[in-house]
Structure 1
């Protein structure tokens, strides 16, 4: 996989916490709303963005259409006094799907489908859950979004999408990207092939 060289800085924000995050459940394609902590984290991300980029109003804003990402974007923009809804949604930024595993915890999966869980542990990047998609498949879906960026952009999306982007820009090798912790309430900046938390 040839890395993409982004001509502009990219600012990644993962949606705030949901109850399923707190319970350790696989969300994937399930449309779960933010909880109270998640809404606080979205406001914290706005303050980090304000401190990072005083000219935030001139940035392009793109989000996943999933409820937890849209709610995070709406809170972020409200905190920054930006026009509500004046951002783009892109289906390609939806979270990695876990298929029939969605709604279960990893503990549930390891009990019920031990062999499949072990296969995933050996190769998280390429493993495809039953009825779901791999990180490699997700990266193919996300790549054109990055290739189309025209200016410095804020993307509000998901942990899986952020991991795919880290691999696509060459910040980390794909196998390691699948293991990177993506924090809620913080900002991940990507400049060239370097990624930094703010």
Structure 2
């Protein structure tokens, strides 16, 4: 059986509830986010997970710690490449209910989507190389995970809800890594 990666978006924060772009601003989980993380952990226990990793941002670390309590795992690594997209001048802006046109104007200073996807693929490539054949739980951020999945699967992926887990076959990632070549996606730092 193919090894799996559970890509988990962190639990809800106050900024999520307010419809704000968080990006790399380190906003903690709220009460709802902690409850979501506990529920997600209970949903993942049907698979034997071997490794738990996280973005270094506090909302992802706390979510991973709560998941890990249910899964019997501790965070083994906090990877900077798993941080959320940098939204530039848009970080902290409320976009809930805003037109697509206005959101796109705000995102003009944001990190390019292709760079975000490349970071996500690079991080996952590092993890599958470091932990061959193991099932991985990766806790990160909605936009990074969605863009990474789109790049790996070659098709659009819907928005990922707080604490939603999306399963990815390691073989799908390995194909993308082979096609892209090691130099372009080699881990940094």
| TM-score between the two structures when normalised by the length of structure 1 | 0.74
Residue 102 (structure 1) aligned with residue 91 (structure 2): yes
Q: CA offsets, 1:147-182, max 9 Å, x none?
A: 221332110000012112212322x42xx34xx210
Residue 68 (structure 1) aligned with residue 54 (structure 2): no
Corresponding residue pairs, total: 166
Aligned match for 1:80, one of 39, 62, 71:
71
- Contact 2:81-2:123 at 8 Å conserved across structures: yes
Q: After TM superposition, give the deviation of residue 108 of structure 1 in Å.
A: 8.9
1:117 corresponds in structure 2 to 103
Residues 1-198 of structure 1 aligned to structure 2 (within 5 Å): 8-51=3-46, 53=47, 55-56=48-49, 59-82=50-73, 84=74, 86-106=75-95, 117-118=103-104, 129-130=108-109, 132-148=110-126, 149=128, 150=132, 151-170=134-153, 172-173=154-155, 176-177=156-157, 180-191=158-169, 192-193=171-172
Q: After TM superposition, give the deviation of residue 143 of structure 1 in Å.
A: 1.9
- Contact 2:40-2:67 at 8 Å conserved across structures: yes
Matched residue SS, 1:155: strand
Q: After TM superposition, give the deviation of residue 67 of structure 1 in Å.
A: 0.5
Q: CA offsets, 1:70-96, max 9 Å, x none?
A: 0101111123343x4x42110000000
| TM-score between the two structures when normalised by the length of structure 2 | 0.78
**Which structure 2 segments of 5+ residues have no match?**
174-189
- Contact 1:101-1:109 at 8 Å conserved across structures: no
